[in-house]
Amino acid sequence: MFIVVLCDCLSLPPTPSSHLFIHISCFVIPSFQMQFMLLFSRQGKLRLQKWYVPLSDKEKKKITRELVQTVLARKPKMCSFLEWRDLKIVYKRYASLYFCCAIEDQDNELITLEIIHRYVELLDKYFGSVCELDIIFNFEKAYFILDEFLLGGEAQETSKKNVLKAIEQADLLQENIDFQMRLFAGVMVPNMASEASGLFQN
């Protein structure tokens, strides 16, 4: 829960006994937490899955199978929201991929659609006109972008610029590590070869 406190300062006309009165009002905004997110193709192939609630592998497979069949069976002009078990399912199709999220009954469907769209924008910005093959061959990047955007099922960063900056820094760090590993391997291999040749000569 998020508690928002509003303070209104009321100043009375100047009198010997005048004081500054502060009126404090509070209201509670219910927190938003996604239960899980699934990405799957029109053929029903699962491309990405992220679970924010503890479930067994058997239950995850059962949920995935049921939801994929349910969403793919719906017509294009049908509503993108549906009630499923005690949850609400929000999905959106982009090209050949379906982005499907589960939220609690009291959560806002439009916010969920906006989160899905923001994630697609981040993928598109990173890959450049993202397609299904980008997710297949670079799934670790897709997971990393999602983790930078959502934490525990809640949006931790709403700025696309900040998310992409964090991803660029991680890519740069990975490139430096790969370079150091190649450099280390380039030094070690000749040394090992020379040592081996010395052993054979002896």
Residue spans of the domains in the chain: they are 34-186
* pLDDT of res. 195: 56
The answer to whether the Cα torsion of 64, 129, 148, 153 is positive or negative is negative
Q: Give me the CATH topology for the region 34-186.
A: Beta-Lactamase (3.30.450)
Span 98-118, average pLDDT: 94
Q: What pTM was estimated for this model as a whole?
A: 0.72
Convert the pLDDT of each residue in 129-148 to its tens digit.
Answer: 899 999 999 999 999 999 98
Rounded Cα distance between 170 and 147, Å, is 12
- Paired tokens of 200: 């054979």
Convert the pLDDT of each residue in 150-192 to its tens digit.
Answer: 988 888 887 888 888 888 888 888 888 888 888 887 765 555 5
CA distance to 84, 129, 168, per residue, from 112 (Å): 16, 22, 26
* pLDDT at 37 exceeding the cut of 70: yes
Convert the pLDDT of each residue in 53-99 to its tens digit.
Answer: 999 999 999 999 999 999 999 998 899 999 998 999 999 999 899 99
Q: Are 112 and 34 in contact (CB under 8 A)?
A: yes
